[in-house]
Amino acid sequence: MNEIIKIKISEIDDFKNHPYKVELGDELNTLVESTKLNGLLVPIVVRKKEDNRYELLSGHRRKKVYEILGLKEIDAIIKDLNDDESTIFMVDSNMYREKLLPSEKAFAYRMKMEAMKHQGKTSCHNDTRLRSDEKLSEKSNDSARQIQRYIRLTYLIPELLEIVDNTGKIKEEHNLTMGLLPAVELSFLSKTEQQIVYSAITYEDTTPSHAQAIRIRKLSSKKLLTFDDIDKILLEEKGNQHEKISFNKSKIISVLPFSLAKRDKRYIEQYIIEAIKAYKNINK
Q: Distance from CA of residue 227 to its chain's centroid?
A: 24
Q: Is residue 166 part of a domain?
A: no
Q: Is residue 219 part of a domain?
A: yes
Give the pLDDT score at 111. Answer: 87
Give the pLDDT score at 186. Answer: 96
* C-alpha dihedral sign at 141, 146, 151, 156: negative
Q: Is residue 271 part of a domain?
A: yes
pTM: predicted TM-score of the whole model, two decimal places: 0.72
75 and 12 belong to one structural domain: yes
Instruction: Please check the confidence at residue 218 and state whether its pLDDT lies above 70.
Output: yes
Arithmetic mean of pLDDT, 166-183:
76
The pLDDT tens digits for 220-243 are 999 888 999 999 999 886 654 455
Number of domains in the chain: 4
18 and 57 belong to one structural domain: yes
180 and 230 belong to one structural domain: yes
Give the pLDDT score at 137. Answer: 74
Arithmetic mean of pLDDT, 185-211:
93
Q: Is residue 242 part of a domain?
A: no
The pLDDT tens digits for 9-45 are 999 998 888 888 777 767 778 888 888 888 888 888 9
223 and 267 belong to one structural domain: no
60 and 123 belong to one structural domain: no
Whole domain around residue 266: which residue ranges? Answer: 249-282
61 and 97 belong to one structural domain: no
Instruction: Please check the confidence at residue 257 and state whether its pLDDT lies above 50.
Output: yes
Higher-pLDDT residue of 123, 248? 248
219 and 184 belong to one structural domain: yes
